[in-house]
Amino acid sequence: MSDALIEKISKLKAERNAVILAHNYQPPEIQDIADFTGDSLGLSIKASKTDSVVIVFCGVLFMAETAAVLSPQKIVLLPDKNAGCPMADMITAEQLRQLKAQHPDALVVTYVNSSAEVKAESDYCCTSANAAEIVGSLPEDRKIIFVPDQHLGRFVSEKTRRQLILWPGYCASHIVITDDDIKNAKKKYPNAVVMAHPECSELVKALSDQVLSTSQMLRFAKDSPAKEFIVATEVGMIHPLSKQRPDALFVPASEKALCHNMKKITLEKLLWSLQDMQYRIEIPQDIAAKARKALDRMVEVLPSK
């Protein structure tokens, strides 16, 4: 069944001149069929550099929006129109405008896990990998608003020793991991290296050996001599890590760390997406131009990223 589906998807992909992107948290069969896997921004940048006409983003809405902002000339499809990100939805453009009005002299740094409208209201975008560098590069005398993830924000604040005006957003799939989960996993695997995503709670991060984005986890595990890893992020991450290091054991810190939105994408939906050219993600030009500016400013600060 799935072989036939995979064949149909590959055939249609070629006919449509499409590129398939899959986030690291996607189901294994989706990651395995994708042209590129990785984090949301890295994938959008890669796709923008291909000569494909269509981008199918197997991920959630804000990711497809970012791809559409970076590739305005391409058709961007999200296979399930209901695959959203609850954390991105925790702040609207209007709420950010109100926050900016309360702090008119503040610069706004927005995590890529946000809507295009919210990015458009921001001075800089950042990823979980470069957030501290972006914040650290800003003038000392400027206040900084950081949205939407409070946990990434606290991590950045601690790293840069800068006070940030935080928004109370969070990722439910990450904060479900508890300090007890880490303690229990450590008891079971005393030699394991603990890698935690910055979206985890402060207690979990404090108990971890490394705090890393998904791309950083892959790089770190690739070069590490360790044979066992406890992984405190969405459980989908176990697949690319194990694929890259089949000689090592990767254990999820909690099986509950599951993003249901990420798992909405199936092979069938991917096929239908290519068949029906759905669901097309289009960003109004003015919003896209402003969001693009915030993304470009991030790249200017970090030219090598």
DSSP output for 275-301: HHT--B----HHHHHHHHHHHHHHHHH
- Kindly tell me which residue out of 262, 271, 281, 295 binds ligand SF4, with binding defined by CB under 6 A: 262
CB of 199 within 8 A of CB of 151? yes
Amino acid at 26: Q
Binding range to ligand SF4, per CB under 6 A, among 85-93, 134-142, 211-219, 277-285: 85-93
> CA dist 150 to 117, 147, 155, 247, Å?
19, 7, 9, 36
The CB-of-261 to ligand SF4 minimum distance in angstroms stands at: 5
CA dihedral 276, 282, 94, 262 (to 10 degrees): 50
- Kindly tell me which residue out of 26, 52, 66, 113 binds ligand SF4, with binding defined by CB under 6 A: 113
For residue 262, the Cα-to-chain-centroid distance in whole angstroms is 11
- Kindly tell me which residue out of 131, 259, 271, 291 binds ligand SF4, with binding defined by CB under 6 A: 259
H or E stretch including 228? strand 228-232
As a whole number of angstroms, the distance between CA 66 and CA 273 comes to 18
- Kindly tell me which residue out of 67, 70, 76, 87 binds ligand SF4, with binding defined by CB under 6 A: 87
- Kindly tell me which residue out of 31, 37, 173, 216 binds ligand SF4, with binding defined by CB under 6 A: 173
- Kindly tell me which residue out of 60, 134, 194, 238 binds ligand SF4, with binding defined by CB under 6 A: 60
Cα-trace Rg, the chain = 19
The CB-of-242 to ligand SF4 minimum distance in angstroms stands at: 19
**Interface with ligand SF4 in residues 13-42 (CB under 6 A):** 25
Give me the 124-163 binding string for ligand SF4, x by CB under 6 A, dash otherwise.
----------------------------------------
Locate 42 and state its tokens. 């890295």
**Residue 171 interacts with ligand SF4 (CB under 6 A)?**
yes
Q: Which residues neighbour 122 within 8 Å (Cβ) at sequence distance 6 or greater?
A: 96, 108, 109, 110, 114, 147, 291, 294
Which residue, 60 or 195, has its beta carbon nearer to ligand SF4?
60
Which residue, 85 or 248, has its beta carbon nearer to ligand SF4?
85
Binding range to ligand SF4, per CB under 6 A, among 207-215, 223-231, 254-262, 294-302: 254-262
Q: Which residues neighbour 229 within 8 Å (Cβ) at sequence distance 6 or greater?
A: 192, 193, 194, 195, 221, 241, 248, 249, 250, 251
- Kindly tell me which residue out of 44, 122, 214, 261 binds ligand SF4, with binding defined by CB under 6 A: 261
Which residue, 10 or 168, has its beta carbon nearer to ligand SF4?
168
Binding range to ligand SF4, per CB under 6 A, among 26-34, 69-77, 139-147, 258-266: 258-266
The site that binds ligand SF4 (CB under 6 A) totals a number of residues, namely: 12
**Residue 218 interacts with ligand SF4 (CB under 6 A)?**
no
Which residue, 121 or 234, has its beta carbon nearer to ligand SF4?
234
What end-to-end distance do the CA atoms of the chain give, in Å?
40
> In the sheet where 36-38 sits, what is the strand order?
36-38, 18-23, 54-58, 75-77
Residues near ligand SF4 (CB under 6 A) = 25, 60, 85-87, 113, 171, 173, 234, 259, 261-262
